[in-house]
Structure 1
Amino acid sequence: MKYHEITQADCANLSRFISEADRFITNPTQHWDHDQFKTITAMPDLVIQPVNNEEVINVVKYANDNNIPIVARGNSTGLMGANLTVKGGISLDMVKMNRVLEYDPKGLTMTVQAGIRLKDIEEYLADKPFTYMPAPAMHWATLGGNVSTNAGGLKAIKYGVTREHIRELKVVLTNGQLYKFGSKAVKSSSGYSLKDLIIGAEGTLGVITEITMRLYPKPRKSINAIIPYPTLSDAIKSVPAILASGVVPTTVEFMGRKVIELWEEYSNEQFPISNGDGFLIIGLDSFTDEEWQAQLKQTLTVVKDFKAEDAIILAADSKEAQKIWQCREQLLLAIQKSTPKMDEIDICVPINHIPDVLKRIAELESELKIRIPNFGHAGDGNLHIYLCSDNLTDNEYKKISAKVISELYKTAKSYDGNMSGEHGIGFARANNYEEFYGKEYTDLLRQIKNLFDPKNILNPAKIFNL
C-alpha cells in the first residue's frame, strides 16, 4: 500500500493542532526508533505528543484524510515492535497524556489518561486504601500500552489480566470521532463489547486516550512462600496439584537456578536461597491471618509429593521478599545483558503442558546449539522464552532463532495454546500469525480491521499481514 509522505505543508497544517512547539518534533532522534529489544528499528517522519483528546482527534483525522500512517506509542517497553513506525509517518507519543482525571472511591474506579505509567498509578494510590491489581513487571510501562496488549502480569491467576480490570475506554477512531466503549457499571449484557475488541488490538483499530480502571481494596494480609525443588520440572509438575487442592494463590511464578545465576551476575546480589535448582514463588493474600495460614498449610502438604524442599515464608513487605521479587522482575534485563542479541516469545499453554514445553526447549538447545533461558507464570501457563545470540554470527542467529520460534509455536499449537500470553504479536511475529491461527480466522480479523480502519493507517503491518 502506498502512503502519502509527510511534506512541509502537512507539518504546517498539523502543527496548528498542537499548542506548544516542543511537542511537535520534526527531527526525531533514536529515542523514537526502537522498543526495549532494539532488534527492529524504524524512524518516524514526525513525532507528536498530544496532551488532550482534541489534539488526538485532529491529528488522527488529518492522518486518515491524507493517507498518512500513524502509530500510537507508550513508554516503549514492548518487545515485539508494536510501537514502531515501520511504514514511516507519525509517531503519536502519548507519554504527556499522563493525568489522573478522576478518583472515585465510592464507585471503585479511577479514570486516567492513556499515557500514565503503572509507576505513577502506584504512587498516586500509595496513601489510599485501594490498588490497581494487575502487576506487569515493567512498572514504567504506560497503562495504554498495557491495555493495547492486554498485559497479564504477576497476579493474573487470582485477579485476571488487564482486560478484567478495565471498565471503560475512550477511543479515537479514524473518522475523527471520540467514542466511549464500556461504562462504569460492573455488568453489561447489552450487545457487542467494543471495549473488549479494542483491548489487545495493539493500536490497530483506534487510539486509546482515556481509561477507567477497576480499583480493589488493598489486601489486609499478604505473604510469599518460596519453595525450592531438586529440579525445575519437579516444581512445575506440582502446580496443577496446588490449584486443584482449592488453594487460590495471588501468584505462582517459576524460575530455575540458571536464570537466577544470570540475575546474580547482573545485579551483583546474592539470591537468598542456595539449595534447589527449581523454584516456585507463591503469593497468598487474604482478609485474615487464618485464611492465608490455611491456604499455606494446604500448599505445603500438596508439594511434599513433588520432592519439595523446605519453604521459606516471608511477609510480602519484608526485605527478603523484596529481593526475591526484584530478582524475578529483573530476569529479562539480566538475560538481555548476558548476550549481544536477544529475541523472545511468550507462548501460553494449559498449565499441565508447561513441562512439555520445557522439554522441547531443552531439545532445541541441544539440537541447534543455542542458549534458551526461560521463566514465567506457572499458574496461568505463560512462559517467557529468550533466544540468545551469544557467539553465533548474525546469519547463524537469524536462521537458528527462526527455527526455534517456528518449533515452539508448533508446540504451543499442539497443546491448544496461544502465540502470546501478554507481550502481543506486533511487527516481529505478524508473519507467523496466519500459519498459527489459520486463514479463515485471520480473514475474519482482516474484515474487522477494514471496518475500523479502511485505509490501514493505524499501526500498519502489525499482528497479521493484510
Structure 2
Amino acid sequence: MLPEPYDRIHAELIKFLPEKRVYTDSLRTLAYGTDASFYRLIPKIVVDTECESEVIRILEIVNTFEVPVTFRAAGTSLSGQAISDSILIRLGEGWSGFEILDKAKKIQLEPGIIGSHANRILAPHGKKIGPDPASIDTCKIGGIVANNASGMCCGVAENSYKTLDSMRIVTADGTVLDTADEESRESFRRSHGELLDGLMKLRAAVLDNKSLADRIRRKSKIKNTTGYSLNAIVDFEDPFEILQHLLVGSEGTLAFISNVTYRTVVEHPHKASALMRFPDIRSACEAATICRSIRVSAAELMDRAALASVQDKPGMPPGLADLGPDASALLVEVRGKDEITLQKKIDTVLDAVKDLPSVTPHEFTADPIEFNSLWNVRRGLFPAVGAVRQAGTTVIIEDVAFPIKDLAQATLDLQELFTKHGYDNAIIFGHALEGNLHFVFTQDFNIQSEVDRYAAFMDDVTHMVAEEYKGSLKAEHGTGRNMAHFVELEWGREAYELMEEIKRLFDPKGLLNPGVILNEDPQAHLKDLKPLPVADDIIDKCIECGFCEPICPSRELTLTPRQRIVAYREISRGKLEGVDSKESMEAFRKSFDYDGEATCAADGLCATRCPVAINTGKFIKVYRSWARSTWEKRIASFTASSFGVTTAAIGAALRVAGGTHDLLGDNIMSKSTAALHKHTGKRIPQWNTSMPRAATKPTRTGTPQSDRKVVYFPSCVSQHMGPEKRDTDKSALRDRTLSVLAKAGYEVIHPENMNSLCCGQPWESKGLIEQADKKLSELECALRTASKNGEYPILCDTSPCLFRMQEHITGLTLLEPVQFALTHLVSELEFTPINKRVALHVTCSTRKMGLAAEMEDLARQCAREVVVPNDVYCCGFAGDRGFNYPELNESALKDLPGQLDGCTVGYSTSRTCEIGLSLHGGIPYKNFMFLLDEASWPKS
C-alpha cells in the first residue's frame, strides 16, 4: 500500500501510462532505484518513460502534489545523484533518436543513447562526441550532459560544456524549450521572462564583483563538476546560452534534458602509446606538464601502489614488478591523421621529456596488441582494488583536480592522508593533463567506527583540496550527495548563494532531485549509505556499477545482472537481520523467482563487461540448484542415464508437433499451444512457427580415408532438430559439415554411441550440476578414445556445448566451427562469396571465446554482404528457456527485424538460438557450416 499522496499520484500516472511501466512493488523499486554510488534511497514509485510528452505530464502531476522527482539515465553515477526516496523517472528505449547534422559537424542525440553508440554512429564520418568517460559503453547521453562527464582525452576543451550546440529541455513546471528554435525561444521569453531576466541580473551582479568573476574563471580552467557550471554566467551574454550551459552538470536539479546537439570532434585513425616509467611521482608530474604544453591526446598518471595492484595480472607489460618503491608511471597517447603526423608527434614528445630522469627508455608503440597491453594497466586499476576487497565492503573512487603545477605535491599529500587514516591499499591514478586524480580505496560502512574513519578522512581531503590547493572536490564524477555539503567550502559563500539563486529560478518549489548539488546537512555524505551484506562468493565482489546492463537480454523485460545482485543481497540481508514482515519477504522472493531467476538467460556475457568479471549467470544456475526438489533431481538423473530414450522421445515429440502443425496451420497451432502454455503455468512449452522439425537421417555416411583426421561430435540438439517448415533447404547439418571436411581432405571419426552423448549443458542451465557433470564425463571418455587421447582435433558444431567442454576438459583440442575453420580449413579451401546479403549472429559462447571479429571476417569471405545487427548480443532463447519463457527471447530480439532488410538467410552456431532468431528475424537461421559449405572449394 502506497502512502499518501503517492497512492493518488499512482492513480494519475496509470491514466496515461501502461501500468507495466509504473512500478511500486518492493523488488522493482529497490532494484531499479539502485545506482553505482555507495548511497541508497528506495523510491516509492519508479516510472519508465518513452517520450517527452510523458515527462511533461509527470511533471505536471508532481507539481500538483508537490512531491520530489529524480531523473535517471544509466545509473552509472558514483556520487549519489541518481537515487530517490520519492519518484524516480527512468529513460526507456524510446529515447534513442538521433540525427546527423551539417555533414557530421553536429549530431543531435536523445538522452537514452549510450555514449559509445553515438560514437559508432559518427565513426563512418571520422568523428565522435567530445566527452569520453570510462563508462562510455554504458552511460547514456542524458547522464553525460547532466554530469558534464569528461574522461581521459577530452579534458576541459571537448567536454559537454564546450561542445554543446543546442538543447531541448522540459522545465520544472512542464514547459518545453528548444534553444535551437527561434519560435520556441520567443514563446519561452513570453512565458518565462522572469527566469531569463533573473539569469541576466545574476550575470550583471557577477561581472560587477570582480573577485567572484575571477574566481569563477580560475576554477573553470581545471576540471570542475562541483556545484553548478557558474562559468556559464561569465562566458555568455545570451540568456539562452547561459541557461543551457547551466544545465550541463546540473544533475537533473534544474530541468529535464530531452535532447542535445553536440559539435563533434575529429577521431584520428592513427594512435600510439608509451608507458613512461619514472623514479618518483614528481618526475612523472613534470612530464605530464610538458605533455600538456605539446598537446598530447592523453597522459594517465599512476602511482606505485596503483602499478603494484596490477603488476602480477595476465596481459601486463613486463617490468612493473621491478620498479622501485617510489616509482610512478605516465601512460601517454598521441594521435594523428596519418602515420607521418603520428611519428612527428612521437618524436616531439620523446624530445621534450628526454632530460627528465626515467627508469627505462621511453618507447611508443602503435601495434594493437602492445597498445592494448599498455592500456590494460590503466583499465585494470579499479577492478584490481574491487577484486581484493573483503566481502561486505564497498569500493570508493573519489575524484579531485588540482592546478597542474601543484599535482606532484598534492599527490604526495594524498598519500600521506592514506597513511594517516589507515587506508593502506589505496591507489592513485588520473588524467594528469588536467590535474585530475582519482583515488580508490575499500570501505566498510557496516561498522560505525569505520563510518567515523571515512568521515575524518573526507574532512581532511576536502580541506586539503579546496583550501590548501584551491582545487576541485569533484572533477568529473558530479557533486551528487557525496560533495553537496562541501560545495560552499570549495566555492565560498558568495558563489554558493549564487548557486542557490540559480536553483530558485529554475525550480522554485525545489522538486527536482532535492539534496543533490546543494545540501545544508553537514552529515549528508554520511547518511543513506548502501548496505552490502554478504550474499554469495560469486557475487560478493559486485560494486553495482551497471557496466553489465547493456549486454543483458532481459534488461527491458525484468532485471539486469546488477539488479539481480541487488535483489538477492536484499534477500540475504533479510535472512541475516530479519524483516519487518515475513509475508513481504515471501512476496519479494516470489517476484525474484520470475524476475531474477526464470527470465535470466544465464549466458555469462555480463562477466565480459564486469570490471571484476562477475558471472551473474553462473550465480543464477547455483540459485536454481538450491531450488531443485528431490523429485526433480531424480527425473534429471533418469533422463541423463537413459539419454537415448530421452532423445528418441524428443524426436517423436517433434514429429507429432510437425504433423499437428501441418494439419492445423500456423494460427490455430499458435493459439492452442499458447493457451496450454498459459493455463499450465508455463509447464507446457510454447510452440512457435520456427519450431524445428525432427531431423532427417544424414545422407553422408562418412568421408574418405586420409592422413588428416578429425573427430566430429554433432551436439545432441543438432542431431535431433532439423530445419523449420518454411526453410526451403532441408539438408542435414551433419551432411553439410561432412561435405566441408571432405573438401578440406579430412577423414571424419565419430565417437562411439554418439546418440547417447551430451555435454551436460541442458542440465547445467537448470541448476542440475551433478547430472550435467556426469554426462560431460561420459562424453570426455568417448572423445578421448575417438581422438586417441588428443592426437586428433575434435569439432563440435554447437558453440555453447563446445564452450562447456572447453571449460571442463583438459588435454584435448576442442574446437567449435569458427575455431576449426580458422585453424584447419582456411588454409585448405578456396572461398567464393555467395551472391547474398546474409545475417550473422555471434552466440554468447562465441563472444566469450573471443571469436566475434574472426567469425565476422570469415563470413565476409563467404558472402557478398554480411549484416551483424547492432546491440543484439544474447538472443535470449537460452537453450530451451525460449519455449517456456518466450517473452525473454522476444524482448532480447525486438530490434532484430529492423536490421535485416534484404537478408534472405542468417547463420549462427547454435540450433536453439537459431529457433528464436528465425522466429523474430523473419528469415531462416542455419548453422555457420552451411555457409562454409556453400562458399568453399578444395584448393587443388
Same fold (TM over 0.5): yes
**Does the Cα contact within 8 Å between 1:97 and 1:114 map onto a contact in 2?**
no
> Residue type matched to 1:33 in 2?
G
Shift of 1:81: 0.3
Distance 1:226 1:183, change over 3 A: farther
> Residue type matched to 2:115 in 1?
L
Query: 1:84 aligns to what?
Result: 83
**Does the Cα contact within 8 Å between 1:68 and 1:457 map onto a contact in 2?**
yes
Shift of 1:221: 2.5
Shift of 1:58: 0.9
Shift of 1:42: 0.6
**Does the Cα contact within 8 Å between 2:149 and 2:160 map onto a contact in 1?**
yes
> Structure 1 residue 219 and structure 2 residue 217: aligned?
no
Stretch of structure 1 that moved more, 295-304 or 119-128 = 119-128
Shift of 1:334: 2.6
Task: Report Cα offsets for 1:7-50 as digits up to 9, x if no partner.
Answer: 332212112232x333222223432233213x211111111111
**Does the Cα contact within 8 Å between 1:95 and 1:142 map onto a contact in 2?**
no
Query: 1:258 aligns to what?
Result: 305
Q: Indicate which of 428, 452, 459 corresponds to 2:482.
A: 428
Distance 1:172 1:307, change over 3 A: same
**Does the Cα contact within 8 Å between 2:29 and 2:45 map onto a contact in 1?**
no
**Does the Cα contact within 8 Å between 2:126 and 2:268 map onto a contact in 1?**
no
**Does the Cα contact within 8 Å between 1:158 and 1:251 map onto a contact in 2?**
no
**What pairs up with 1:5-404 in 2 under 5 angstroms?**
5-18=4-17, 20-27=18-25, 28-37=28-37, 39-85=38-84, 88-106=85-103, 108-139=105-136, 140-157=138-155, 159-181=157-179, 190-191=238-239, 192-244=241-293, 247-263=294-310, 268-275=313-320, 276=323, 277-308=327-358, 309-315=360-366, 318-339=368-389, 340-371=393-424, 372-389=426-443, 394-404=447-457
Cα distance in 1 for partners of 2:515, 2:78 equals 16
Cα distance in 1 for partners of 2:363, 2:30 equals 45
> Residue type matched to 2:297 in 1?
T
Matched position secondary structure for 1:306: coil
**Does the Cα contact within 8 Å between 1:74 and 1:115 map onto a contact in 2?**
yes
TM normalised by structure 1 equals 0.90
Task: Report Cα offsets for 1:297-329 as digits up to 9, x if no partner.
Answer: 2221222322122223122x7022223334423
Cα distance in 2 for partners of 1:7, 1:401 equals 35
Cα distance in 2 for partners of 1:166, 1:31 equals 33
TM normalised by structure 2 equals 0.46
Shift of 1:105: 4.9
Task: Report Cα offsets for 1:170-195 as digits up to 9, x if no partner.
Answer: 111112111123679xx986345211
Matched position secondary structure for 1:346: strand
Stretch of structure 1 that moved more, 380-389 or 224-233 = 224-233
Shift of 1:155: 1.0
Distance 1:270 1:106, change over 3 A: closer
Matched position secondary structure for 1:313: coil
Shift of 1:348: 0.9
RMSD of aligned residue pairs (Cα, Å)? 2.5
Shift of 1:143: 1.3
**Does the Cα contact within 8 Å between 1:182 and 1:193 map onto a contact in 2?**
no
Task: Report Cα offsets for 1:75-104 as digits up to 9, x if no partner.
Answer: 11111100010xx22111114244133122
**Does the Cα contact within 8 Å between 2:34 and 2:41 map onto a contact in 1?**
yes
Matched position secondary structure for 1:81: coil
> Residue type matched to 2:238 in 1?
S
Cα distance in 1 for partners of 2:438, 2:250 equals 21
Cα distance in 1 for partners of 2:308, 2:65 equals 53
> Residue type matched to 1:62 in 2?
I
Task: Count the aligned residue pairs.
Answer: 451
Cα distance in 1 for partners of 2:179, 2:382 equals 34
Query: 2:585 aligns to what?
Result: none
Cα distance in 1 for partners of 2:490, 2:266 equals 40
**Does the Cα contact within 8 Å between 1:34 and 1:42 map onto a contact in 2?**
yes
Bigger fraction of residues in helix: 2
> Residue type matched to 1:290 in 2?
I
Q: Unaligned stretches of 5+ in structure 1?
A: none
Cα distance in 2 for partners of 1:311, 1:17 equals 63
**Does the Cα contact within 8 Å between 1:357 and 1:408 map onto a contact in 2?**
no
**Does the Cα contact within 8 Å between 1:75 and 1:142 map onto a contact in 2?**
yes
Shift of 1:421: 0.7
**Does the Cα contact within 8 Å between 1:159 and 1:250 map onto a contact in 2?**
no
> Residue type matched to 1:333 in 2?
P
Give the number of the structure whose alpha-carbon radius of gyration is greater.
Answer: 2
Q: Percent identity?
A: 23
Bigger fraction of residues in strand: 1
Distance 1:157 1:434, change over 3 A: closer
Cα distance in 1 for partners of 2:30, 2:513 equals 19
Cα distance in 2 for partners of 1:264, 1:229 equals 16
Stretch of structure 1 that moved more, 373-382 or 303-312 = 303-312
Cα distance in 2 for partners of 1:167, 1:329 equals 31
**Does the Cα contact within 8 Å between 1:98 and 1:114 map onto a contact in 2?**
yes
Matched position secondary structure for 2:415: helix
> Structure 1 residue 456 and structure 2 residue 510: aligned?
yes
Stretch of structure 1 that moved more, 75-84 or 399-408 = 399-408
Cα distance in 1 for partners of 2:487, 2:289 equals 29
**Does the Cα contact within 8 Å between 1:221 and 1:288 map onto a contact in 2?**
yes
Distance 1:416 1:188, change over 3 A: closer
Distance 1:196 1:330, change over 3 A: farther
> Residue type matched to 2:253 in 1?
T
Matched position secondary structure for 1:312: coil
Cα distance in 1 for partners of 2:491, 2:266 equals 39
Q: Unaligned stretches of 5+ in structure 2?
A: 183-234, 521-940
Task: Report Cα offsets for 1:141-184 as digits up to 9, x if no partner.
Answer: 11111111111111124853222222111111112111123679
Task: Report Cα offsets for 1:47-87 as digits up to 9, x if no partner.
Answer: 111111111111112112211110001111111100010xx
Distance 1:393 1:8, change over 3 A: closer
**Does the Cα contact within 8 Å between 2:119 and 2:127 map onto a contact in 1?**
no
Query: 1:440 aligns to what?
Result: 494
Cα distance in 2 for partners of 1:80, 1:254 equals 23
Shift of 1:126: 4.0
Cα distance in 2 for partners of 1:286, 1:406 equals 44
Query: 2:608 aligns to what?
Result: none
**Does the Cα contact within 8 Å between 2:29 and 2:43 map onto a contact in 1?**
no
**Does the Cα contact within 8 Å between 1:6 and 1:89 map onto a contact in 2?**
no
